[in-house]
Chains A and B, each alone.
Chain A
């Protein structure tokens, strides 16, 4: 995941596109996206775990690409669309990755779960049918201190299966 920081002079950022809607904010351009999400907008599903892009608990999607929101400043986002864990559920229906984590019991304290799910969503956007080795390689940046890794791999595998079945059936 590339780091995005602003080299530009500090300006004010007043709006972000998050989960399909525009949010008014008031932050200097060097403020981390994670802080704006959590402290200004109360979108607290994205977690602080390390502040250096090493644990991926803060992962969000920016134009569909996974980003460490703790080291991404709001100044570089512009009009790009941000997706957080809060934006995955649609009309009360969980995203297949969320459903698979639930079905598989792929969590313990679950503090890493949002970041795991967001990374997995990004993976399955780019690779609809990953092997276990590909899942493991892609998820290497995500830390689960409770040690739920094998179940998370299984959940991502299940989610991929569900999503392929759904797209083959022409559900959307």
Chain B
């Protein structure tokens, strides 16, 4: 392995991301891929597992076998006779700008002009299998794989030129889409080298790569590669797409979560011209030639619902409900349980011996992703072949869901994912695609289904609600003697403490919960960071130590210390004191190879209690920066989105019903909510890049909470902290 390679980041998927993998994979053969693009040069990346499997005599078949079944191709690229370079990856573009940044790293390793590269993404027919675009893995994993593919492609081109000129390949230089020979001054373009080739080569991914310090194309700020299509409205999101003869679908939603149909009369809808009613158990939907007719047909259905038998919790008593409904041996577990002692008696005695003891409970509400493009899918059946276009972070996962729903083999299904109106972890699932496909099957025509905003709020899934209990002990000199953090339901991401502690335990408990819940940008790390960093501040206060000094004393990771230092310096942490009625706060942490620290200044009106965020600083480090412009956008955007969950976003619910499923009732951050935010990017060219989609927002909420406490002495231990809203900037 190249020495430049960062240690593999251990990805611990949240429990909702632990999907049972499909038993069979029917990826098309490498030669089929080549047929798609014709002649030229194709380079495939084979995983090491695939090679090992082939060496075992290929008895297992392609990708067959158990949980760790290798998908033998993880990425590939093609160089056409006209010099066009096409890169195929199962990752998807959801606003994080990887269509641009992945092309940058390919251009770098291939020494090809940036604009000669086209990315084909998230198409289950054309691109290799990929588990999904989540967990901040696109840059560290897919980016690395594509660099290897591009690097081998470059070597292949050099060897072809060397053969043509009958010289040693080592003396040839690739630059700007050409191979040149410095001695003879001859040069030949990649396109010319690709002519009359039907060349394919497979690579393992252990060849040397260009070090980030030597990058010329990667590492540069580049805007969205197809930005013009978006500012002109030309880009077609799935919700914009149409097919000949396409019908518009609507789905009948239950009156409360889990309710089933007691009685139904669809006759009035059925009699409407052009309308098809599709019923399959408790699934009922309609299709019509236009959306207005579909809407009228849906309203014409008479239905009585049977709610679930038990009274469901509401947004007030949910926290008691979670602790009263712990599930043992369920879907929980995870690394939280493995860290430190789980023996509470050891914690108890360490707490008893501590000079200061502090226990507290923190709460986080259900929040919604509310991507501005709601779920949308278009489905078309051709015999038993199914074509689906849908906005999802997991096109291959959606294909599996479709295969399961319609009892089809996956090879009969093609899922395409045009760049979508974002997801933030909220579009991992395929319910809308399954519904569209069911309607299309019933109607016998292609169907597009676009969820309404209310449907998106009510029937997608939420960031989990949670309760976090912390018990802790600290001595006067700032030594942490005991640390116990117990998370109920919200999740185990970022649950471990980065601080040196004596006895510690950080278990996660699965509980029952009343709605669908799942991944959300940053997963539970946002909740666990909030609890931990709020609590650390109170411990610092208890021993009258500066919160910055307290953290620096106990942090064990130099990269966290570096971002904390960087944020504090930019903020002027020890240079200035807050004005009267103002407060300063900071927070920090690391997750998924990203390192983050935030500083906040707030002003609180003592008479009204109104909070104004005066300014924020966020420092972030994720190794070598591939695209500083894109990264800055992610860090700033993540913090702005994070303001909602930190301050005022919360799903209100009662007995299986969401009470605020609209933007007029569910407040999201808007222009006037945004304080001045300074972003400090720490570029570590000595390290390989990691991802940036999630970590930048993790320290935001506690930094604001700590600033509020600094200003007022009041500790807010629930997210959102200020449901009534902040003072406008």
Chain A residues in contact with chain B, CB under 8 A?
Answer: 28, 31, 35, 38-39, 42-52, 54-55, 57, 84-86, 88-89, 94, 98-99, 101-103, 105, 107-114, 117, 135-137, 139-153
Q: Which residue of the partner chain, among A28, A48, A105, A114, contacts B233 with CB atoms under 8 Å? A: A114
1/0 per residue, CB under 8 A from A, across B59-102: the answer is: 00000000000000000000000000000000000111100000
Q: Which residue of the partner chain, among B95, B371, B671, contacts A110 with CB atoms under 8 Å? A: B95
Knowing A47-B373, A50-B453, A109-B94 are in contact, say whether A145-B233 is a contact too (CB < 8 A).
no
* A135 surroundings in chain B (CB, below 8 A): 671
B453 closest partner in A (C-beta)? A50
Q: Which of B235-294 contact A (CB under 8 A)?
A: 235-237, 239-240, 242, 248, 290-292
Knowing A39-B290, A146-B422 are in contact, say whether A110-B230 is a contact too (CB < 8 A).
yes
**Contact indicator B663/A52 (Cβ below 8 Å):** yes
Q: Which residue of the partner chain, among A44, A46, A109, A117, contacts B421 with CB atoms under 8 Å? A: A109
Q: Which of B499-524 contact A (CB under 8 A)?
A: none
* B96 surroundings in chain A (CB, below 8 A): 108
Cβ of A123 to closest chain B Cβ, rounded Å: 12
B448 closest partner in A (C-beta)? A39
CA distance A146 to B228 in the complex (A): 18
Q: Which residue of the partner chain, among B239, B290, B374, B663, contacts A143 with CB atoms under 8 Å? A: B663
**Contact indicator B232/A85 (Cβ below 8 Å):** yes
**Contact indicator B231/A150 (Cβ below 8 Å):** no
Confirm or deny: B672 has a beta carbon within 8 angstroms of a beta carbon on chain A: yes
The segment out of B34-42, B303-311, B547-555, B638-646 that lies at the interface is B638-646
29 contacts between A and B (CB under 8 A): A28-B292, A44-B236, A44-B237, A45-B234, A49-B372, A49-B374, A49-B663, A50-B663, A84-B233, A88-B232, A103-B223, A105-B223, A105-B224, A109-B94, A109-B371, A109-B373, A109-B419, A109-B422, A110-B95, A110-B421, A111-B237, A111-B372, A111-B422, A113-B230, A135-B671, A142-B670, A143-B670, A145-B369, A147-B669
**Contact indicator B227/A35 (Cβ below 8 Å):** no
**Contact indicator B672/A110 (Cβ below 8 Å):** no
Confirm or deny: B633 has a beta carbon within 8 angstroms of a beta carbon on chain A: yes
* A139 surroundings in chain B (CB, below 8 A): 671
Q: Which of B343-378 contact A (CB under 8 A)?
A: 369-374
Cβ of B675 to closest chain A Cβ, rounded Å: 10
Knowing A47-B372, A109-B373, A148-B633 are in contact, say whether A94-B231 is a contact too (CB < 8 A).
yes
CA distance A140 to B637 in the complex (A): 17
A111 closest partner in B (C-beta)? B421
Knowing A44-B240, A50-B453, A150-B674 are in contact, say whether A57-B232 is a contact too (CB < 8 A).
no
A28 closest partner in B (C-beta)? B292
**Contact indicator B233/A57 (Cβ below 8 Å):** no
Which DSSP category, helix, strand, loop or mixed, fits chain B's interface? loop
Which DSSP category, helix, strand, loop or mixed, fits chain A's interface? loop
**Contact indicator A109/B671 (Cβ below 8 Å):** no
Contacts A111-B237, A149-B670, A150-B640 known; 19 new A-B pairs at CB < 8 A: A35-B291, A44-B240, A48-B450, A49-B372, A50-B663, A54-B662, A86-B233, A101-B231, A103-B223, A105-B227, A107-B95, A109-B373, A111-B372, A111-B373, A136-B729, A140-B670, A145-B371, A150-B677, A153-B671
CA distance A114 to B239 in the complex (A): 15
* A117 surroundings in chain B (CB, below 8 A): 231
Q: How many A-B residue pairs have CB under 8 A?
A: 168
* A86 surroundings in chain B (CB, below 8 A): 232-234
CA distance A147 to B663 in the complex (A): 16
Confirm or deny: B396 has a beta carbon within 8 angstroms of a beta carbon on chain A: no
Chain B residues in contact with chain A, CB under 8 A?
Answer: 94-97, 223-224, 227-228, 230-237, 239-240, 242, 248, 290-292, 369-374, 419-422, 424, 450, 452-453, 629, 633-634, 636-641, 662-664, 668-672, 674, 677, 729
CA distance A148 to B670 in the complex (A): 10
**Contact indicator A107/B640 (Cβ below 8 Å):** no
Which of B233, B234, B248, B677 neighbours the largest number of chain A CB atoms within 10 Å of its CB?
B233
A43 closest partner in B (C-beta)? B233
**Contact indicator A94/B232 (Cβ below 8 Å):** yes
Knowing A105-B629, A109-B372, A112-B372 are in contact, say whether A89-B232 is a contact too (CB < 8 A).
yes
Cβ of A112 to closest chain B Cβ, rounded Å: 5
**Contact indicator A147/B640 (Cβ below 8 Å):** yes
B369 closest partner in A (C-beta)? A145
CA distance A94 to B536 in the complex (A): 52
CA distance A107 to B232 in the complex (A): 13
Cβ of B249 to closest chain A Cβ, rounded Å: 13
CA distance A152 to B239 in the complex (A): 24
CA distance A12 to B641 in the complex (A): 43
A118 closest partner in B (C-beta)? B233
**Contact indicator B290/A49 (Cβ below 8 Å):** no
B640 closest partner in A (C-beta)? A147
* B233 surroundings in chain A (CB, below 8 A): 43-46, 84-86, 114
**Contact indicator B239/A48 (Cβ below 8 Å):** yes
* A51 surroundings in chain B (CB, below 8 A): 452-453
CA distance A38 to B424 in the complex (A): 26
**Contact indicator A31/B373 (Cβ below 8 Å):** no
Cβ of A93 to closest chain B Cβ, rounded Å: 11
CA distance A46 to B237 in the complex (A): 11
**Contact indicator B671/A142 (Cβ below 8 Å):** yes
**Contact indicator B664/A54 (Cβ below 8 Å):** yes
**Contact indicator A45/B227 (Cβ below 8 Å):** no
* A140 surroundings in chain B (CB, below 8 A): 670-672
Which of A98, A99, A109, A140 neighbours the largest number of chain B CB atoms within 10 Å of its CB?
A109
**Contact indicator B227/A146 (Cβ below 8 Å):** no
* B421 surroundings in chain A (CB, below 8 A): 47, 109-111
Knowing A28-B292, A35-B292 are in contact, say whether A110-B663 is a contact too (CB < 8 A).
no
Cβ of A46 to closest chain B Cβ, rounded Å: 7
* A142 surroundings in chain B (CB, below 8 A): 670-671
A42 closest partner in B (C-beta)? B242
**Contact indicator A147/B664 (Cβ below 8 Å):** no
Cβ of B636 to closest chain A Cβ, rounded Å: 6
* A149 surroundings in chain B (CB, below 8 A): 640, 669-671, 674
* B419 surroundings in chain A (CB, below 8 A): 109
Knowing A39-B291, A86-B233, A111-B237 are in contact, say whether A102-B227 is a contact too (CB < 8 A).
yes
**Contact indicator A137/B232 (Cβ below 8 Å):** no
CA distance A145 to B290 in the complex (A): 29
**Contact indicator A136/B372 (Cβ below 8 Å):** no
Knowing A109-B422, A150-B674 are in contact, say whether A102-B228 is a contact too (CB < 8 A).
yes
CA distance A89 to B95 in the complex (A): 23
Which of A38, A108, A141, A152 neighbours the largest number of chain B CB atoms within 10 Å of its CB?
A108
Cβ of A122 to closest chain B Cβ, rounded Å: 15
Q: Which residue of the partner chain, among A50, A110, A152, contacts B224 with CB atoms under 8 Å? A: A110
CA distance A44 to B376 in the complex (A): 14
CA distance A141 to B637 in the complex (A): 18
* B663 surroundings in chain A (CB, below 8 A): 49-50, 52, 54-55, 143
* B662 surroundings in chain A (CB, below 8 A): 50, 52, 54
Cβ of B695 to closest chain A Cβ, rounded Å: 15
**Contact indicator B636/A107 (Cβ below 8 Å):** no
